[in-house]
């Protein structure tokens, strides 16, 4: 097997090379029926098809003969799919009993928890788990809420942890005007461009109508569906979000009925979310089957039949050597690609090496080959330290003050279930004001974000 050190070379190979991920000490294919989750350090996780265990693979580039090192997360035998990392060392998954569970790595050991909201008991998910997240695509910060398609009903629901690591959860449905939202039972049916906004593929009650790309946002009047009656948003599956910066716009990709990738833009500003335009086909993005992965501005890859197509601003490229990509295409930060092959094996591609000849790529960041460590360093988002919220307890309102320029300051007040009940309005160059006059007495949580830095603070409202 060629050395994976090619991934960090300055001149990637001119051809496409794929290999299966296998344990050098027991060279047998590892088969999966799940997706592939990638941790920040480049480690891979997937569900073993035969045992329901979660397998872990990491490339040891420092060994005399570089190879994959395999392990298993202990005490997990019921994993099904929807693996996703909230942060390093915290892996969520959907179990075979349709419950949402997660594995937490701490002090050298894994502990398994079940998400059990205090107001409902265990919740049951049919799929489409996705974290609420904020920030541009290279600085996405997952929040503490998980949106999902509920078992039996296919309704859009969510759970939210009170504080990170507390394992205290609340549950809530998303019912605009008292009406539940039915999500289509398809791949990539739910996405979150920013906190309080969910984009999903709606399953119409009328079987003669097509599923539609739909957005719902939380504002002063609760959850509201964005108006889309006069524009074309017919979609089949595979939502992907491109967030270039911290403004209030997101580019939304999806797959349409004729197997093309189409794109539109959504404005997710506070209390005024709306579609900017209808869907337009992306030139050359045809034969799309799923797994859209945004790789940059107007740049993405997707699964085309059993192959992989890379879309650039200058055109598209079909990898001629790959004809066994069945599902689960995912991209690592260093541009290596992973997918599930025809036998259910986990495979990897050396490099997504396409560039536009007349638009030279920017220098690649210095990539450090992976090394095996016994204890991961848990990632935590940047914390805001120069922000104050007063008075606390609050009566008529709350002032949020940032020591410095607050032009990019965003703040939301949420209840114990994670529902946004108030937002901040500009008071001065360094302050925002949160109106609490209409809120019942009780405990709330103020979420403040500036760029990729964030902070959560408990607030008491007492009239």
pLDDT tens profile 12-39: 344 456 788 877 666 667 789 899 999 9
3-state class (DSSP) for residue 294 = strand
Model pTM score? 0.75
Within a domain: 337: yes
Task: Taking residues 431-455, report their average pLDDT.
Answer: 80
Same structural domain for residues 111 and 178? yes
Question: b/e per residue, 51-85, with b = 16+ CB within 10 A?
Answer: ebbbbbbbbbbeeeebbbbbeebeebebbbbbbbb
Residue 378's pLDDT band (cuts 50, 70, 90): very low
Task: Taking residues 122-136, report their average pLDDT.
Answer: 93
Question: b/e per residue, 195-215, with b = 16+ CB within 10 A?
Answer: bbbbbbbbbeeeeeebbbbbb
In this predicted model, what pLDDT tens digit does every residue of 281-329 receive, in sequence order?
998 898 899 999 998 888 899 998 888 888 876 566 777 678 888 889 9
Same structural domain for residues 258 and 184? yes
Within a domain: 410: yes
Sheet holding 169-173, edge to edge: 125-134, 141-150, 156-161, 169-173
3-state class (DSSP) for residue 7 = helix
Q: What is the pLDDT of residue 73?
A: 95
Same structural domain for residues 328 and 417? no
Q: Whole domain around residue 421: which residue ranges?
A: 387-461
Percent of the chain whose pLDDT exceeds 90:
41
What gap in Å lies between CA 72 and CA 335, rounded to an integer?
26
- The residue assigned the tokens 């090379």 is 17
Last residue in a domain, options 333, 349, 365: 349
What gap in Å lies between CA 264 and CA 251, rounded to an integer?
6
Same structural domain for residues 18 and 163? yes
Same structural domain for residues 396 and 273? no
Give the angle 109-82-74 at the CA atoms, nearest 5°: 25
What gap in Å lies between CA 357 and CA 168, rounded to an integer?
52
Other CB atoms within 10 A of residue 342 CB: 11
Total domains in the chain come to 2
What gap in Å lies between CA 32 and CA 310, rounded to an integer?
25
Instruction: Name, of 71-85, 134-148, 366-380, 441-455, the range with top average pLDDT.
Output: 71-85
Percent of the chain whose pLDDT exceeds 70:
83
| CATH code, 190 | 2.130.10.10
What gap in Å lies between CA 159 and CA 166, rounded to an integer?
14
Same structural domain for residues 452 and 342? no
Task: Taking residues 421-431, report their average pLDDT.
Answer: 80
DSSP-assigned states of every residue in 302-364: EEETTEEEEEETTEEEE-TT-----EEEEE-TTS-EEEE-TTSBEEEES-----BTTBPPPPP
Using alpha carbons, select from 138, 133, 225 the residue that is nearest to residue 182: 225
Other CB atoms within 10 A of residue 364 CB: 12
* Greater model confidence, 79 or 369: 79
The answer to whether residue 386 scores a pLDDT higher than 50 is yes
Within a domain: 358: no
The answer to whether residue 263 scores a pLDDT higher than 90 is yes
* Greater model confidence, 389 or 215: 215
What gap in Å lies between CA 405 and CA 261, rounded to an integer?
40
Within a domain: 174: yes
Within a domain: 382: no
């Amino acid at each position: 097997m060629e050395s994976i050190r090619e991934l960090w070379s300055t001149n990637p190979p001119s051809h496409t090379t794929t290999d299966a991920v296998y344990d050098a000490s027991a060279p047998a294919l590892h088969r999966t029926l799940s997706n592939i989750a990638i941790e920040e350090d480049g480690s891979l996780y997937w569900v073993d098809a035969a045992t329901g265990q979660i397998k872990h693979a990491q490339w040891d580039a420092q060994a005399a003969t570089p190879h994959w090192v395999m392990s298993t997360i202990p005490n997990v035998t019921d994993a099904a799919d929807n693996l996703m990392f909230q942060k390093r060392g915290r892996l969520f998954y959907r179990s075979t009993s349709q419950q949402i569970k997660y594995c937490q790595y701490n002090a050298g050991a894994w502990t398994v928890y079940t998400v059990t909201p205090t107001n409902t008991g265990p919740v049951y998910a049919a799929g489409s788990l996705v974290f609420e997240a904020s920030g541009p695509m290279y600085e996405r910060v997952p929040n503490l809420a998980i949106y999902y398609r509920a078992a039996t009903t296919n309704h859009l629901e969510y759970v939210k942890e009170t504080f990170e690591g507390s394992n205290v959860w609340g549950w809530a449905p998303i019912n605009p005007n008292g009406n539940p939202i039915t999500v289509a039972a398809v791949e990539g049916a739910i996405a979150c461009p920013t906190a309080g906004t969910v984009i999903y593929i709606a399953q119409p009650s009328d079987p003669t109508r097509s599923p539609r790309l739909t957005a719902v946002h939380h504002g002063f009047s609760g959850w509201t569906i964005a108006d889309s009656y006069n524009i074309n948003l017919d979609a089949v599956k595979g939502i992907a979000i491109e967030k270039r910066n911290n403004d209030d716009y997101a580019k939304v990709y999806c797959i349409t009925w004729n197997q093309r990738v189409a794109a539109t833009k959504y404005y997710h500003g506070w209390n005024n979310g709306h579609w900017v335009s209808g869907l337009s086909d992306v030139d050359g993005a045809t034969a799309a089957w799923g797994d859209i992965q945004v790789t940059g501005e107007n740049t993405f890859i997707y699964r085309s039949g059993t192959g992989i197509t890379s879309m650039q601003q200058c055109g598209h490229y079909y990898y001629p050597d790959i004809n066994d990509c069945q599902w689960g295409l995912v991209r690592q930060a260093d541009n290596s690609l992973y997918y599930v092959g025809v036998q259910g094996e986990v495979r990897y591609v050396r490099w997504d090496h396409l560039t536009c000849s007349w638009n030279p790529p920017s220098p690649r960041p210095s990539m450090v080959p992976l090394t095996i460590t016994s204890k991961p360093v848990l990632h935590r988002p940047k914390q805001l330290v120069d922000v104050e919220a007063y008075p606390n307890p609050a009566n008529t309102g709350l002032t949020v003050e940032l020591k410095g320029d607050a032009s990019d300051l965003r703040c939301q007040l949420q209840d114990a279930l994670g529902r946004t009940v108030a937002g901040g309005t500009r008071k001065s160059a360094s302050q925002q004001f949160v109106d609490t006059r209409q809120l019942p007495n009780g405990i709330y949580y103020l979420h403040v974000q500036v760029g990729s830095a964030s902070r959560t603070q408990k607030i008491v409202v007492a009239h």
